[in-house]
Amino acid sequence: MDGRTPAPEGIDADARLDRDTSNCSIARTLEIVGEKWTILILREIFYGSSRFGEFERVLGCPRNLLAARLRMLVEEGILATETYQVPGSRSRPKYVITPRGMDLIPAVLGLLQWGDRYRADPEGPAMLTRHHGCGAPVGVEVRCEAGHAVAAEDIESLPGPTFRLRKAG
C-alpha cells in the first residue's frame, strides 16, 4: 500500500472523486466545533470553568467571539446554561457540559494525545489525564465493536446508507 491507508472498499476511483461530501460526518462536526476558540472553550469546561469571565480570563479571547461560540455550543446542545449565585450578588448564567458535549471528549482527547506525543516540551506536557479509578494515564484507542484494538492500517472504509455522488456537471 506504499504508505497509504486502505482505499474505501466498493468504490472505484471515479466514484471516490465524484462523491458528494456535503453529508460527511467529519465536515458536519467541524461546522460546529471547527471554528477558532470552540475546542479551547470545551477544554476549559473540561478543566472546570463555567462562567463567561473565567473563559475570557484564561483564554484571552475577544468577548464578542466568546459570546458567539458559547451561543453556538448551547444551540447545538453541547453546553447548557444554568444559573449560579454568589452571596451578595444577583444570579448569573453559567455553562455546563451536556451528555452530547461529553461525547466530544474522545475527539478532544485525541488532539491532546497527539500534542502530548509530538508537540510537548521535552520535559513533558502541561497537564496529565488519568483514570479516576486506578490512577493510570488515559488515552484514546481505536477499537471495533467486537472488542479488538484496531491499528490505523486495519481500518476499512465503505459507502454507507447515504453515500451519494455529486450531480453531474
152 binds, among a copy of itself, DNA, none (CB under 5 to 8 A by kind): a copy of itself
112 touches a copy of itself by CB under 8 A: yes
DSSP state at residue 149: B
157 binds, among a copy of itself, DNA, none (CB under 5 to 8 A by kind): a copy of itself
Asked if 82 interacts with a copy of itself (CB under 8 A), we say yes
50 near a copy of itself (CB under 8 A):
yes
Binding mask 77-96 for DNA (x = CB under 7 A): ----------xxxx-xxx--
- Report, in Å, the least distance between residue 90 CB and DNA: 3
Q: How far is CA 134 from CA 80, 127, 143, in A?
A: 30, 18, 21
End-to-end Cα, the chain, rounded Å: 32
Q: Which amino acid is at 114?
A: W
Distance between CA 163 and CA 141 in Å, rounded? 26
Query: Applying CB under 8 A, which of residues 87, 123, 168, 169 lies at the interface with a copy of itself?
Result: 123
Q: Are 38 and 69 in contact (CB under 8 A)?
A: yes
